[in-house]
Chain A
Amino acid sequence: MSNNIRFVQGNEACVEGALYAGLEFFAGYPITPSTEIAEQLSSRLPKIGGKFIQMEDEIASMCAIIGASLTGRKVMTATSGPGFSLKQEALGYAIMAEIPCVIVNVQRGGPSTGIPTHVHQGDVNQARWGTHGDHAIVALTASNHQDVFAMTVEAFNIAETYRTPVVLLFDEVVGHMRERLVLPEPGEIPIVERLRTSVKPGVNYHPYLPREDGRLPMSDFGGVHRYNVTGLYHDMWGFPSDEPKIINELLHHLMDKIEHRTNQLARFKEFYTEDAECLLISYGSSARSAREVVEKHRQRGERFGLLELLTLWPFPSDLIRQKAAGARLVVVVEMNMGQMCQSVRLAVDRPERVFLSNRVDGVFISPSDIEKTLHLIQGKGV
């Protein structure tokens, strides 16, 4: 048996990915169904000299990782729906102050306490718009453990590259399901290390002055450069400013650094999409049932295809429009009331051809659920 093969829960695959990416600091609070991530890291991190802390609440966990990130560490927190709600203000802070960090939300049923042990994908739009004010966000997901691992590494890489929080939007089925994970060798997946300033001691360092390539080199707290970090609109020194020009430029910078790279940040998988008449679009655990349906219909010679999104935000509109162009029918498979379906309708040329196949009762959507939707659509004579 190879030492690199594990049989683990999705939450453990996330832990392995985070450690592979260089996680050194985790703060969290117990919440179903993400708790295994905190439990495992409380054991794994100190072994490598990293730090784990169970904070007094979800808010504090989010704040603590931001503080730790500023000292130069790769950081992460993990939670689920209600905890994700609580973290939103500090998530906005990380966006505004441009602090690299990773936030895992293993989705459960909501709103409110909802159904803690059952699956839902109802936080898709919350990940995009949960914190107040105009902003951009990166949110990634996965349907199997190999991708959970890879997307977790990707989350850290994107966070470091663009100085931004990245949300990992998993769900209860992926989080708790056990399956094979093959751990990549060190170096097999590239790791992005933090870009630190080359400005010499005694020379003015501007923490918020982008380089020519748009990147903002950082300086660790405790290092030679002392600067201010704030959630207020700020100038290139990080000092609060209410100058209209500075406000305008900073907001555009925060939006553009993500939104202008939508295509570059779009991670996805596609199966038989090139000639698909019926294109299924799905993500997270729902994509597994969608894939089952697509494989079955292909075996019968029917032109079904699947586009599985790994990047949910920024929403890959161009990709969706392009992949859906040739399809007679687009069916979005998800476990919510159509959060992603709405975005797909906005992206495609013929929104009347986009249908929703969903399940919202806490039961995992099955291939037969999707088949039922397909029958209904066909009954409509589409």
Chain B
Amino acid sequence: MAVKDYIRERFFPHMWCAGCGHGIVLNGLIRAVEKLGIDKSAIVMVSGIGCSSRIAGYLDFHTLHTLHGRALAFATGVKLSKPELNVIVPMGDGDALAIGGNHFIHAARRNINITAIVMNNRIYGMTGGQCSPLSGYGTLASTAPYTNVDQSFDVVQLASAAGATFVARSTGFHVQQMTEIIQEAILHNGFSVVEVMSQCPTYFGRRNRQGDAVDMLKYMQKITTPIGSKAKEQNPELIERGVFVRKELPEYCSAYDTVIRRAKEGK
């Protein structure tokens, strides 16, 4: 199928700002699904609130645009109720890790077969540029006018520690890698987390003097490196890209099938 067969064309043009990185993620996601050849009716996309969550409406899947932070909780209901469906949850950094932090760690702990894509642009875009739990120490935001003194989460470390069985990171600059990682994440039987570093030139970029979208993308190229590269040894400040965790643990819905079997056998 052509890429445009996956979108709801009549709802375009999309509502994202010029230069927003979320469109790149949308593109990568569609290409991943296309390569996997999954039937559109076998995919449920569940999103929360924020710029990132609007991605769901543009895609011709079963789409559920929910509440701020709660996408994974809704998604858990969908998946457990009908495990044969592929459930993909795009989230923003604030959506996933501030208001939705509890659902994030518990979905990871359960290892339920859902793909969470954290579109990390380090800012609350839709409400006008407030700092997020991933903005980072020393950044500027509309609610951190004297610089942000909050430390950030590291999504990869958090997801790994919480028990996610597939954890990866890529960026909007590395579209090929991002697409491949999303593909693998969807195939993975368990809770998979993909952090995609995405640019918000309108708020984060402008306030923090990172230039326009192109500058921000180039910056992502500069500050990241493949996992275990020589460059990382020489410059430990670099952020690694690639798959950090890839392991097998009982998947929640399959494990629940065991519960059903035991209950029916009466033990």
A residues adjacent to B (C-beta < 8 A): 24-25, 27, 43, 46-47, 49, 51, 53, 55-57, 59-61, 63-73, 75, 89-90, 93, 221-224, 226-232, 239-240
Q: Which residue of B lies closest to A93 (CB)?
A: B67
Asked if B73 and A60 make an inter-chain contact with CB atoms under 8 angstroms apart, the answer reads yes
Which residue among B41, B77, B102, B264 has the maximum number of chain A CB atoms within 10 Å of its CB? B77
Q: Which of B80-88, B169-177, B182-190 faces chain A?
A: B80-88
A51-B81, A56-B106, A67-B76 in contact; A231/B259 too (CB < 8 A)?
A: no
Asked if B56 and A63 make an inter-chain contact with CB atoms under 8 angstroms apart, the answer reads no
What residues of B have a CB within 8 angstroms of the CB of A27 in the complex? 76-77
Q: Which of B24-32, B58-66, B223-231, B235-243 faces chain A?
A: B58-66
A55, A63, A239: the one within 8 Å of B11 (CB): A239
What residues of A have a CB within 8 angstroms of the CB of B62 in the complex? 70, 221-222, 226-227
Q: Which residue of B lies closest to A223 (CB)?
A: B41
A56-B106, A57-B102, A73-B81 in contact; A229/B63 too (CB < 8 A)?
A: yes
B63, B74, B84: the one within 8 Å of A63 (CB): B74
A53-B80, A221-B44 in contact; A67/B63 too (CB < 8 A)?
A: no
Asked if B74 and A226 make an inter-chain contact with CB atoms under 8 angstroms apart, the answer reads no
Q: CA separation between A46 and B259, bound complex, in Å?
A: 7
Q: Which residue of A lies closest to B76 (CB)?
A: A64
Asked if A49 and B260 make an inter-chain contact with CB atoms under 8 angstroms apart, the answer reads yes
Q: CA separation between A70 and B106, bound complex, in Å?
A: 22
Which residue among A24, A66, A223 has the maximum number of chain B CB atoms within 10 Å of its CB? A66
A85 to chain B, nearest CB (A): 15
A56-B106, A60-B70, A226-B41 in contact; A70/B78 too (CB < 8 A)?
A: yes
Asked if A222 and B85 make an inter-chain contact with CB atoms under 8 angstroms apart, the answer reads yes
Asked if B77 and A65 make an inter-chain contact with CB atoms under 8 angstroms apart, the answer reads yes
B46 is an interface residue with CB less than 8 A from chain A: yes
B residues adjacent to A (C-beta < 8 A): 8, 11, 40-42, 44, 46, 56-57, 60-67, 70, 73-82, 84-85, 102-103, 106, 256, 259-260, 262-264
Q: CA separation between A51 and B70, bound complex, in Å?
A: 20
A66, A71, A75: the one within 8 Å of B85 (CB): A71
B65, B76, B264: the one within 8 Å of A55 (CB): B76
Q: CA separation between A221 and B80, bound complex, in Å?
A: 13
8 contacts between A and B (CB under 8 A): A47-B260, A56-B103, A67-B75, A71-B81, A221-B44, A221-B85, A231-B66, A240-B65
Q: Which residue of A lies closest to B99 (CB)?
A: A59
B247 to chain A, nearest CB (A): 22
Asked if A90 and B70 make an inter-chain contact with CB atoms under 8 angstroms apart, the answer reads yes
Asked if A70 and B64 make an inter-chain contact with CB atoms under 8 angstroms apart, the answer reads yes
Asked if A222 and B65 make an inter-chain contact with CB atoms under 8 angstroms apart, the answer reads no
Which residue among B67, B73, B76 has the maximum number of chain A CB atoms within 10 Å of its CB? B73
Asked if B81 and A25 make an inter-chain contact with CB atoms under 8 angstroms apart, the answer reads yes
Q: CA separation between A230 and B45, bound complex, in Å?
A: 12
What residues of B have a CB within 8 angstroms of the CB of A221 in the complex? 44, 62, 64, 78, 82, 85
What residues of A have a CB within 8 angstroms of the CB of B75 in the complex? 67
Asked if B63 and A228 make an inter-chain contact with CB atoms under 8 angstroms apart, the answer reads yes
B76, B81, B256: the one within 8 Å of A60 (CB): B76
B101 to chain A, nearest CB (A): 10
Asked if B66 and A93 make an inter-chain contact with CB atoms under 8 angstroms apart, the answer reads yes
Q: Which residue of B lies closest to A90 (CB)?
A: B67
Q: Which 7 A-B pairs have the closest CB atoms?
A: A67-B77, A64-B77, A46-B263, A63-B73, A68-B81, A60-B73, A56-B106
What residues of A have a CB within 8 angstroms of the CB of B70 in the complex? 59-60, 63, 90
What residues of A have a CB within 8 angstroms of the CB of B106 in the complex? 55-56, 60
A379 to chain B, nearest CB (A): 52
Q: CA separation between A67 and B76, bound complex, in Å?
A: 7
Asked if B84 and A222 make an inter-chain contact with CB atoms under 8 angstroms apart, the answer reads yes
What residues of A have a CB within 8 angstroms of the CB of B260 in the complex? 46-47, 49
Asked if A230 and B44 make an inter-chain contact with CB atoms under 8 angstroms apart, the answer reads no
Asked if A51 and B80 make an inter-chain contact with CB atoms under 8 angstroms apart, the answer reads yes
Asked if B11 and A222 make an inter-chain contact with CB atoms under 8 angstroms apart, the answer reads no
What residues of B have a CB within 8 angstroms of the CB of A229 in the complex? 63-65
Q: CA separation between A228 and B58, bound complex, in Å?
A: 9
What residues of A have a CB within 8 angstroms of the CB of B85 in the complex? 71, 221-222
Asked if A222 and B57 make an inter-chain contact with CB atoms under 8 angstroms apart, the answer reads no
Asked if A56 and B102 make an inter-chain contact with CB atoms under 8 angstroms apart, the answer reads yes
